[in-house]
Amino acid sequence: MTQQHSITPPQELRDKWLDEAPNTSVYDYLIDSAARWGSDQELEACCEYLVRCAQWEPEDVEELRTARRPQPPSLKEQALTALTRYTTGETILTNESVDTIRRALEQLDD
Quick check: 26 and 35 in contact, CB under 8 A?
no
pLDDT digits (tens, 9 = 90+) for 4-24: 556 778 889 888 888 888 776
Concatenate the DSSP letters of all residues of 23-62 into one string: GGGHHHHHHHHHHHHHHHHHHHHHHHHHHHTS---HHHHH
Q: Please give the Cα distance from 101 to 23 (Å, whole number).
A: 29
pLDDT digits (tens, 9 = 90+) for 31-88: 888 888 999 999 999 999 999 999 999 999 999 999 999 888 999 999 999 999 999 9
For the entire predicted model, the pTM comes to 0.55
Write down the domain spans for the chain.
11-68, 75-106
